Structure 1
Amino acid sequence: MTCAPQPPTFRLLDAYVGWEETGPPGDTGLAGFDDPAGVRLAYAGASPEGPTRRALLPWFPDRRLAPGCRPGAWYLAVPGGPRLLRRDACGWTPVWRGDRDPGLARHPVSVAARGHRIALVERDRVLVWRREGEQLAGVVAIRGARRAALAPGDEVLVSREDGTALWRFGSDGRPRGVLRTGIPGEIVGLLAGPGRTIWVLADDGSLRIFRGGPHRPFRPATLEELAAAVPPSGLVSAGEDGFCLKENGADGATTRCYTWRGRPRPAGPPEPEAYVTAGEYVTGLIDSGLSRCRWHRVRVDADVPPGTAVGVRIVVSEDHRYAESDWQTAPPGTTDFLVDQPPGRFLTLRLRLSGDGATTPVVRRIRLDFPRATSADLLPPAFRQDPAADDFTERFLSLFDASLEELDRVIERHPALLDPAGVPDRALPWLAGLLGLSFEAGWDARTRRALLAAAPELYRRRGTPWALKEAVRVVFGVTPVLDELAGDRRWAQVRRLASGSGPGLGAVRLFGRSSSRFRVGGSALGGAPLRAFGDPDGDPLAAHAHRFRVLLPVGSADERALGRLVERQAPAHTAGSVRLGGAGFVVGARSTVGVDTAFVPLPPPVLGGALRLNRDGVLRPGPKGARAGVSAGTISAVGVHTQLS
């Protein structure tokens, strides 16, 4: 504080410093003590800490459902009915009907799909089909089968009811071994992701995600890691009455709901996340380290949606003994209040959260200030002789001290607002406006931060080739080739021989005076352009002066966005152009290696394709074998061993 006689001391209660928990979080009705997002009401059910089963449905659907390979395709196992339904543009239809029904499936309990393969799980076996159910690939004999997943390498993973091991089989039914996961609880979800990674959802009183593989141990994982590795499906809800799928169509996102027999049903209101209605926890003794400490202030950083409440109670004591009547209760809705307690070394805090079951308050941090330090300490002793008046003066001046402290915090944090790496993404355009920068709509936050960090050096060297290339590298991630056309002014130059003899500049003219521009008495009327400015003798030097070209490999940047960037970064007296390389180069024209050239073997000749006889096609190998193009370290002759394409 600006007017405080000494710097404030405080104790934080949050996920980084700790919440001084006195018991297991599940017993308090609260969750998130280790979550930087804050403490909240726990979920009702088997997973108080989250994620909930509904949040995991896009990756671990109900075992009767499996997403297909095509967008919007799903498979539904129906015990006692058509046995297996497939959803396509015409709705849910049986995979096998009439003469095509092999009659093998009896009572399926779950289904899995990957690509064109389908696995139908029954109690004592797993049927594996190819070509989306048209060809039976094999039968896996295994008792107590519960779930299956189709993995790369034509492998089938099966979990049983009596453990958490994964049984590995080929699609033909041959066993490939057993994978011991060591996961506690029961497997309620199984997914084979990319990179031969296996994701398992286990229930041991709470839902937990694990990932591993055949040669990797299984370890706990988060929902964020799963979402980054595997794209979610369109399943949004599943219950006793049926399930709902969300799809993106021409008219936007739509949600369609079905029963467990594939019949349409009306979409009801979305089920809210079920939280417990109340939760409370009490901290241990928070030690100030000062005997008879005068605790000053309590500040609660929380989000309190409508229908929820946050209650805080505190008590100060010199030891662990205090009475129930000693608790001080903060007024309802107050998140910042003074401590009105007698001096004591320890403080105990009781936090209570309540809600309506649909939403929850979130407490991110609680700050405890001590000892009491206000601007009243700067007053003469005569103003502090009466204890009652002194207490009122301290509480009254604390109102102004709090306002001044907020101003001090804003001033202290002002330098951080100019740090590109520290400001939020939404503040980057504001920071760019201070530096005179403008962003393209398609640039992500990482590109914007890199451009802001490089802005001082770019401004210092603005107008130089280095600055232009650096700006292109920061935005597009590739260093361009800068071709200054003025360096190629060799219109009237013939290379001088090494001996020093031979023609040079001034001895040979490659263009005529009468054709460069109109000259009275020297040019034919209509045969030369009319230009009424400049010296005609300087045309060879001025044609490409102050012009440059930015060259990039093909596909490395958007040509229009690159052109706008070059236009903003180029000096005002220059004219720049942009060129993205092609697939080859032309002999006799200027080419840049790495932009529009590539030394690769020749493609196989195929009649009817891009093949021209006598130009760049060979119908059969010659006596010395097929030509392979340019080979490093081998003597090659253009037209004999090599071909330019």
Structure 2
Amino acid sequence: MTERSVSAITTCDQWVRGRHDATAVERVDGAGVALTLTWQDATPQPWDPGTTCAVRGSAVDRLCRVYRLDRRSVARLTIGDAGGGLDYARLPAEVEIVGAPDDPPTGADFVPRPEPALLDGAGIAIDEDDRLFLADRGRRELVVLDLWSRRLLRRIPIASAAAPQRHPIGLAARGRDVVCVVAEPAGLLSLSAHRGPRALPLPATLQATPARATITASGDAITLWHDSSGHSWLVGGRRTPLPVDGACELVSLGDTVVLAPAAAASDGKASLHRVDVSESGWIRSQPLDAFGYDGRGIVAVAGDRIGYWTAHGLRLAVPGKVTYARSGGWLSYRFDSGQPGNRWGRIFLDACVPEGTSLRVATLSSDDDYETALSEVLPDPADCLPVAATNEQPLPPATITPGTPVPLHQRSDEPSPWWRLPAGSTYAVHEAPVVAAPGRYLWVALALAGNTRSTPSVRAVRIERQSHTLARRLPAVLIGDAAQAEFLERFLGLFDGFLYDLQARSDRRDLLVDPASTPVEALPWLASFVGLLLDDRWAEAARRQLIAEVVTLYRRRGTLGSLQRYLEIYLAGDLAADRSRPGLSPVLIEHYRLRGLGPDLGADPVGSGRSVLGAGLRVGTPSDAARTSAPDSSAHRFTVVIPRPLDAEQQAAVRQVLDTERPAHTAYDLCTVDAGMRLGRGLHLALTSVIGPTGGLRPAYVGAGATDRDLILGGPTTGLAVEGSRLDRGARVG
């Protein structure tokens, strides 16, 4: 079978090269883009460019506690974990952690020494180590506090002899990097808890000054600029500044920047604009609804949500209502097959067509080489700044339009061999023939229609450059004239598509015996080739990896390395399914190797004397009555240490591996990180204990939780930073 070459449209730059009529290019799934109908806010609230921005700012630490900065104080609010959302029923009262020196907060559980005593707070940020950065415009300095050790780490002066009036006006943090916006003169500073600050370059072409800053997940520093007339721009890297008049505050949510106005309108309605930051420009996304926003700042909280302040406290923004255009169209640039009089094959679209909407496709082919430039009208709301247009991919003249659109056939799977659409995906593969006369060049037109509440969405377009050859194999008497030949071409295309897909699967049947590419339904069948019975409790990635390595593991069956590799495959696959868990390798310890180093490594014998402090922290050693001789306690015994918490099902899966793959004459003990750590001679670093965060324990709050096995008290303290700490200043001994 001859492989048919395919032309595709998948990227933002490719989508914006076409001619758009009431269509938009939006980001989907956090990475790709899709073509949709253009939209407008259902209840647009214009932002006043001349409004004074009085935002102070908010930040979130690692425990999802929100810190709100007022002029002379910082208040903390704890958010309860309710499935990634905000549980208003469990919100405690705000706790003031920074206040004026002459009026300390009553009942505060955090009183830093020495007292920072803000004179005029202008910005707030928290890095990944829970260091709180405060911009004090009154003292013209930055204050760095450690939230766990309750200490003042640094005071960073912003003013200098050359610029005595220079002061900070905004802060943003991502990881350990912090960006500070300063004024009089304007500038940007980069710093961390122990290093800096250093000046960052500013664009010289913009007649404005920076006011706010944020850092995206890609590490780009995005700044909000204001001029004297009240106009605003979004600036980042070499991208063209984007006008955002009326914006007063911004935060980043991944690679999306969320902009907030000065406050809500008189009726309480407020919209938060969203702008996706692409590599070359900006992509406007649908807004968020922030009813009752009082202008005190917005913040990104857990669950990829935006929190904002109202007169009644913190609230979460929800997707705003938009009104889609009822119909729109898109015309592609020119595709070149390289052969005059070429018959094009099928068209495939990865699209989502909700109920009440429709999507149709039309084509236009020609052998003429049009020298038309790219359309000057870019799609709304995309502004991807495509590369310079050339005559290699022009649009046809406006007087030439594609033919009548044809409906699409929705396939049950991808036309690629053995491919399956992801479970739960709203997108499907749609197919249509190219209804156009033979020609070297081809243009594709899409007709989208909606009901103002929903819109079709197209993520990708693929066109086969060659059609089938079934009609050419028939006797000429059966083909007839041109009209009959065109009908016969389309009629035989139905059978050719089915036969071509079968042939493609037959030619690539080797994919069925590849653990990485075979469909998930065929994994048990493939495992049966080597006598392996798969455990459905294993993640799909782990089952595929086990099939790929099982022959090698069979050769080493019963050895220490084989057991450890089995467990590594299971834990790595489970980690891929649950990104919130840490990925540490298991440790297998043969007891005879530790003779003379201490008592047993496993569970305490029944009846042994021990004391338990907190959640499984054992202090002491077994009693004399429970001690056994060294050969009895170490011969043919081993301990498996899993440096992460496991639930009941995961423990059962691990024990299943150990029971079936270990030598029959051996015995084992299974220890997990949530079983606690023994102090004394039974403690061996990197063997029976692991130092560091596990991610599986959640903090205990006074009045908001019960002390249990899955709770911890306190948090990590500040350590010694090489070249960044001084004895008695930034580091403690003991």
Partner of residue 103, structure 2: 99
In structure 2, how many angstroms separate the alpha carbons of the residues matched to 1:272 and 1:155?
34
SS in 1 for 2:343: coil
The reply on whether 1:241 has 2:233 as its aligned counterpart is no
TM-fit CA distance, 1:474: 4.3
Question: Secondary structure of the equivalent of 1:400?
Answer: helix
Name stretches of at least 5 consecutive residues in structure 1 with no aligned partner: 2-6, 46-61, 212-220, 227-235, 486-542, 587-591, 599-645
Going from structure 1 to structure 2, the CA distance change for 1:433 and 1:483 (only over 3 Å counts) comes to: farther
Q: Tell me the distance in 1 between the aligned counterparts of 2:687 and 2:192.
A: 49
Letter in 2 for 1:165: L
Please report how far the alpha carbon of residue 454 of structure 1 lies from its aligned counterpart in structure 2 after TM superposition: 0.7
User: What secondary structure, in the 3-state scheme, does the structure 1 residue paired with 2:439 have?
Assistant: coil
Q: Kindly report which structure 2 residues correspond to 1:284-323, keeping only aligned pairs within 5 A, or say none.
A: 284-306=333-355, 308-320=357-369
User: CA offsets, 1:420-445, max 9 Å, x none?
Assistant: 3335789867865776333474x555
**Partner residue, 2:59:** 67
1:477-488 aligned at under 5 Å gives the runs: 477=585, 480=588
CA–CA distance in 2 between the matches of 1:383 and 1:237?
Answer: 64
Other-structure match for 1:453:
548
Report the Cα distance in structure 2 between the residues aligned to 1:292 and 1:124, rounded to whole angstroms.
76
SS in 1 for 2:445: strand
Supply the AA of the counterpart residue of 1:100: P
Note if contact 1:244-1:267 (Cα within 8 Å) is conserved in structure 2: no
| Unmatched segments (≥5 aa) in structure 2 | 41-53, 79-90, 106-114, 160-164, 226-231, 239-251, 258-287, 371-395, 410-429, 572-584, 594-630, 672-677, 691-734
SS at match of 1:341: coil
Distance across 1 between alignment mates of 2:587 and 2:4: 51
Taking structure 1 as reference, are residues 305 and 553 closer, same or farther at Cα in structure 2, changes over 3 Å only? Answer: same
1:165-212 Cα offsets, whole Å, 9 max, x none, are 3166999xx995424377997867646899xx976224699968779x
State whether structure 2 residue 404 is matched by structure 1 residue 329. Answer: yes
- Give 1:15's aligned residue: 10
Does 1:201 pair with 2:222? yes
TM-superposed CA distance for 1:569, in Å, is: 2.1
Q: Residue in 1 aligned with 2:24?
A: 29
Alignment of 1:246-285 (within 5 A): 259-261=309-311, 263-264=312-313, 270-271=319-320, 280-285=329-334
User: Conserved in 1, the CA contact under 8 Å of 2:178 and 2:190?
Assistant: no
Summarize the alignment of residues 60-209 of structure 1 with structure 2, pairs less than 5 Å apart: 64-69=56-61, 71-78=63-70, 84-87=74-77, 90-92=92-94, 96=99, 99-100=103-104, 108-113=121-126, 115=130, 117=132, 119-122=134-137, 125-126=140-141, 128=143, 140-141=158-159, 142-143=165-166, 145-149=168-172, 157-160=180-183, 165-166=188-189, 176-180=197-201, 190=213, 200-202=221-223
SS for the counterpart of 1:566 is helix
CA–CA distance in structure 1, aligned partners of residues 401 and 304 of structure 2? 57
Taking a change above 3 Å as real, the CA distance of residues 22 and 296 of structure 1, as seen in their structure-2 partners, is: same
What SS does the corresponding residue of 1:29 show, helix, strand or coil? strand
Distance 1:440 1:461 in 2: 24
Change (3 A) 1:391 1:279: closer
The number of aligned residues is 483
Question: What is the correspondence of 1:50-61 to structure 2 with a 5 Å cutoff?
Answer: none
Question: Is contact 2:19–2:332 with CA below 8 Å preserved after alignment?
Answer: no
Q: CA deviation at 1:272?
A: 5.1
Higher relative CO (Cα under 8 Å, sequence separation at least 6) belongs to 2
Using a 3 Å threshold, how does the CA distance of structure 1 residues 29 and 140 change in structure 2: closer, same or farther? same
Q: Is this contact kept in 1: 2:307–2:314, CA < 8 A?
A: yes
- Determine the C-alpha separation between the residues in 2 that align with 1:446 and 1:371: 37
Q: Deviations over 1:447-477 (max 9, x none)?
A: 4433221123334665677755653564464
2:5 and 2:364 map into 1 onto residues whose CA distance is 17
The reply to whether residue 566 of structure 1 matches residue 658 of structure 2 is yes
1-structure distance, mates of 2:520, 2:235? 32
Residues 342 and 439 in structure 2, CA contact (< 8 A), matched pair in contact too? yes
Structure-2 residue corresponding to 1:223: 254
SS of aligned partner of 1:100: coil
**Alpha-carbon separation, structure 1, partners of 2:521 and 2:299:** 33
Is 1:404 aligned to residue 499 of structure 2?
yes
Stretch moving more, 264-273 or 357-366: 264-273
Going from structure 1 to structure 2, the CA distance change for 1:339 and 1:158 (only over 3 Å counts) comes to: closer
Cα-Cα RMSD: 6.0
Structure 2 residue 521 is matched with structure 1 residue 420: no
Q: Where do residues 340-355 of structure 1 align in structure 2 (5 Å cutoff)?
A: 340-353=435-448
Aligned to 1:576: 666
Does the Cα contact within 8 Å between 2:9 and 2:15 map onto a contact in 1? no
Is contact 2:6–2:462 with CA below 8 Å preserved after alignment?
A: yes
Paired with 1:225 and 1:258, the residues of 2 have a C-alpha distance of 17
- Contact 2:449 2:456 survives alignment (8 Å): yes
Q: Cα offset for 1:15?
A: 3.4
State the alpha-carbon separation in 2 of the partners of residues 464 and 351 from structure 1. 61
SS in 1 for 2:566: helix
Name the CA shift for 1:41/1:166 in 2 (closer, same or farther; >3 Å).
farther
Name the TM-score, length of structure 2 as normaliser. Answer: 0.50
Contact 1:583 1:597 survives alignment (8 Å) = no
* Aligned residue among 462, 476, 481 for 1:381: 476
Q: Once the 2 structures are TM-superposed, how far is the Cα of residue 266 of structure 1 from its aligned partner?
A: 7.8
* Distance of 1:554 and 1:76 partners within structure 2: 40
Going from structure 1 to structure 2, the CA distance change for 1:427 and 1:484 (only over 3 Å counts) comes to: farther
Residue identity in the other structure for 1:65: G
**Match of residue 732 from structure 2:** none
Contact 2:308 2:317 in 1 (8 A): no
- 1:394 to 2:409 alignment: no
Return the alpha-carbon distance in structure 1 between the equivalents of residues 553 and 331 of structure 2.
Answer: 55
Matches of 1:20 and 1:156, distance apart in 2: 34
Aligned partners of 2:506, 2:210: CA distance in 1, in Å?
Answer: 54
- Classify the secondary structure of the residue corresponding to 1:241: coil
**CA-CA distance at 1:568 after TM superposition:** 1.7
Q: What is the identity, as a one-letter code, of the residue corresponding to 1:223?
A: G
In the TM superposition, residue 287 of structure 1 has moved relative to its aligned partner by 1.9
- Which amino acid in 1 is paired with 2:125? A
1:359-374 equivalence runs, <5 A? 361-374=456-469
Contact kept in structure 2, 1:15 and 1:34, CA below 8 Å = no
TM-fit CA distance, 1:143: 3.8
Name the CA distance, whole Å, in 2 between partners of 1:138 and 1:348.
60
CA 307–327 in structure 1, closer or farther in 2 if over 3 Å, else same: same
C-alpha displacement of 1:12? 1.4
Contact 2:344 2:465 in 1 (8 A): yes
Of 291-300 and 575-584, deviating more is 575-584
- Which range moves more in the overlay, 575-584 or 26-35? 26-35
Query: How many Å separate the matches in 2 of 1:333 and 1:64?
Result: 53
The 10-residue stretch of structure 1 (20-29 or 119-128) with the greater mean CA deviation from structure 2: 20-29
What is the identity, as a one-letter code, of the residue corresponding to 1:271? G
- Check whether the contact 2:587–2:642 (CA below 8 A) recurs between aligned residues: no
- Alignment correspondent of 2:533: 437
Aligned pair in 2 of structure 1 residues 464, 282: CA closer, same or farther (>3 Å)? Answer: same
Deviation at 1:565, TM superposition (A): 0.9
Matched residues in 1 for 2:486 and 2:5: separation? Answer: 21
**Post-superposition offset of 1:303:** 2.3
C-alpha distance in 1 between matches for 2:55 and 2:11: 39
Contact 1:68/1:113 (8 A) holds in 2: yes
Contact 2:166 2:184 in 1 (8 A): no
